[in-house]
Amino acid sequence: MTLNHNTNLQAKPSAGDSLAVQRCGEWFRERRHFLLEQMGLRREVIDLGADAPLATVVVLNYNGEHVLRRCLDSLLALTYPNFEVLIVDNCSSDVSKDIIAEYEAAKPAVIRSLMLTQNEGVAGGRNAALPMCRGELIAFMDNDGYPDPTWLSASIAELKEDSGLGAVAPLVFFSSRETLLNGAGGFRDQRGHARDICFSEPLEFAHLPSEVLYPMGCGMVLTRDACERVFPLDSALPKWFDDVELGEKVWRAGYSVKLCPFAHVVHGFHGTERQEKRSLWRQALLFEKARIRHALKYPARNSVFYFAVVEASSWLRRIGKPRQLLVELLAWCWNLLNIRSAMVLRRKYAERGESVSDLYTKEMGPAYPDNHLLRANTVAWGPVLDFEGGIEEAMLHYGWFPVECAEATTFRRAAEHAACFFRIPSGGSKGLAIKARGSERAVKVKFRVRSLGHQTSEESFLAEFGTGAWQTLIIPLKVEGGDIELQIHCFEPHSLEVAAISFELADTDG
């Protein structure tokens, strides 16, 4: 075990500046704004010239009474000078209709509504909206999407700069943890699995793409010509893969899809799903139906036979997982019953299929741990973090895999980047103890400590952990009292197992 210590701590900020954040959500928001500024991705003023074309923002709503007001207020605060909002209600059963009527009456020049008499699903709702859109540019926002004021201006500026663009994707952040990305556009593999790029990754370490296969549905902006060439979307299923299909069609229409890193949206993520309380099994089956149908319509290498071979090989790996295999088989049965409509769509959009297949990846690769639903709670913060009782979730920020247990020790694996919060009493600390080990081989790790009350106040040190037995590294680290963040950077991803981290408190006698 080796240690290399490097100090770069600035003077402790004043009492008014040190952690002027009482709720974690406020700190996450402030941290996001700071990082965007630091990364050169935040523009307060975007000049679109004298003529700003009309843009229609379509908001698809279903039982969104708890989120819709915040969404509409965010849209009304947009800096873009020429836009309208079209709310499509998918036959809600809550008070959403009253909220829509209230906003429509207050802002009749900006807000219009389309009240569907039955739930048409995500694709069907967007299909219904298109004939009513007046704008030269058409944007889509979920009812739990909360755009930054410059989102629309930044997106349209990107579209105006490149006539070959059909759609742009924004940076989307989780509303529960605005330092983490919900996505930066998306991609898919040869089996049809789609994933939002940078899902649940911390913004400050994310590798943002340029071109993407598809824009996320929450915040995507398209030209009218692109919309008219790709709509209607397939509405055979109520949700999932509608944005993936949109991206596939945009590319096949001869346009490209790019990420606009200056356009930012905060996303509630699955707010409606929680209200529906569907079982995980039903959700998994619906997802598999959508995945297989999408891959049949847009197969890798433009070959359904190739897709079938790849799919069959995956079944062999599922033999030891009967539940997963059953879900896939049931989803295939549904798709075989509906194969005719899928093949009709495939033939219609087969053109340029080979060029789009170049954007597919062969394998997804390991996913980043999904920590956005962990509820940070400053009341639970303290000088000690372990994984014995489950209460540690309130201290975790990002990059932590689920709890595991081996050799009577409970631990979590850290991703390439991981972080957690601590609260140090006013007396401060005189040392830091970390109990960890390499999962398969020795691993080099960089630790960084920074005060939450000062964005640039930090202290860093390097260490190396061997594999096998648990090792406790003691670092003579002086930290003044207050709330801090400990960041962990593993030079080999997913290779560090952490059992406990604790700050040794300074003596307060005399």
pLDDT band at 46 (very low <50, low <70, confident <90, very high): confident
Among 66-70, 257-261, 380-384, 480-484, where is mean pLDDT lowest? 480-484
* List of domains in the chain: 3-14+374-505 (2.60.120.260), 39-274 (3.90.550.10), 278-357 (no CATH)
Please, which residues have CB within 8 angstroms of residue 133's CB and are 6 or more apart in sequence? 56, 58, 86, 224, 227
Is the pLDDT assigned to residue 122 strictly greater than 80?
A: yes
pLDDT confidence bin for 104, thresholds 50/70/90: very high
Q: Is the pLDDT of residue 2 over 60?
A: no
> Helix, strand, coil % (nearest 5) of the chain?
30, 30, 40
Residue-by-residue DSSP string for 74-108: HHHT---SSEEEEEEE---SSTHHHHHHHHHHH-T
Q: Are 263 and 150 in contact (CB under 8 A)?
A: yes
Contacts of 216 (CB under 8 A, 6+ apart): 169, 170, 172, 182, 183, 185, 186, 196, 243
d(CA 297, CA 215): 19
| Residue-wise burial string across 187-200, b where 16 or more C-beta atoms lie within 10 A, e elsewhere | bbbbbbebbbbbbb
Q: If pLDDT is split at 50, 70 and 90, which confidence band does 321 have?
A: confident
How many angstroms from the chain centroid is the CA of residue 144?
13
DSSP 411: E
Residue 311 has pLDDT above 60, yes or no: yes
d(Cα 447, Cα 191) in Å, to the nearest integer? Answer: 38
> Measured at the alpha carbon of residue 333, what is the angle toward residues 332 and 334, in degrees to the nearest 5?
90
Task: Give tens-digit pLDDT for 394-449.
Answer: 899 999 999 999 888 999 999 999 999 999 998 888 889 999 999 888 999 999 99
Give the per-residue pLDDT at 317. 72
DSSP category for residue 274: H
What pLDDT is recorded for position 162? 93
Q: Could you tell me if 465 and 473 are in contact, meaning their C-beta atoms sit under 8 angstroms apart?
A: yes
Please report the pLDDT score of residue 275 as a whole number. Answer: 39
What per-residue confidence (pLDDT) applies to 209? 94
The continuous run of DSSP H or E covering 422 comes out as: strand 409-424
Whether pLDDT at 271 is above 70: no
The partner residues of 84 in beta bridges, in order of sequence, read 56
Q: Please write down the long-range contacts of 411-414, taking CB distance under 8 Å and 24 or more positions apart.
A: 411/387, 411/436, 411/497, 411/498, 411/499, 412/387, 412/497, 412/498, 413/439, 413/494, 413/496, 413/497, 413/498, 414/488, 414/490, 414/494, 414/496, 414/497, 414/498
Q: Dump pLDDT digits (tens) for 144-162.
A: 999 999 999 999 999 999 9
In one-letter notation, the amino acid at residue 348 is: K
What is residue 130's predicted lDDT score, i.e. its pLDDT? Answer: 97
Please give the pLDDT value at position 272.
Answer: 44
Predicted confidence at residue 145, as pLDDT, reads: 97
Model pLDDT, residue 19: 40
CA distances from 269 to 85, 138, 295, 361 (A): 21, 22, 25, 25
Q: How confident is the model at residue 374 (pLDDT cuts 50, 70, 90)?
A: confident
Residue 426 pLDDT: 85
Q: How high is the pLDDT of residue 21? A: 37
Pairing of strands 429-438, 443-451: unpaired
For residue 18, pLDDT over 70 is answered with no
Evaluate if residue 296 carries a pLDDT over 70: yes
Q: At what angle do helices 121-129 and 242-252 cross, to 10 degrees?
A: 50
Whether residue 470 has pLDDT greater than 90: yes
Q: Which two tokens stand for residue 423?
A: 């609260």
Integer Cα distance of 255 and 272 in angstroms = 32
Q: Is the pLDDT of residue 12 over 50?
A: no
pLDDT digits (tens, 9 = 90+) for 208-262: 999 999 999 999 999 999 999 999 999 999 999 999 999 999 999 999 999 999 9
**Residue 286: pLDDT over 70:** yes
Report pLDDT for 355.
65
pLDDT at 77 over 70: yes
Task: Judge contact between 312 and 305, C-beta under 8 A.
Answer: no
> What's the pLDDT score for residue 4?
47
- The 10 Å Cβ neighbour count of residue 77 is 11
At residue 362, the pLDDT reads: 64
pLDDT higher than 70, residue 184 = yes
- Looking at residues 462-477, what average pLDDT do you find? 90
- Between strands 221-223 and 145-147, the pairing is unpaired
- Looking at residue 211, the DSSP 8-state letter turns out to be B
Instruction: Of 149, 72, 63, give the one whose Cα is nearest residue 104.
Output: 72
Place of tokens 């062969």: 362
Report the chain's mean pLDDT, rounded to a whole number.
Answer: 87
pLDDT higher at 47 or 21: 47
Fill in the amino acid letter for 256. S
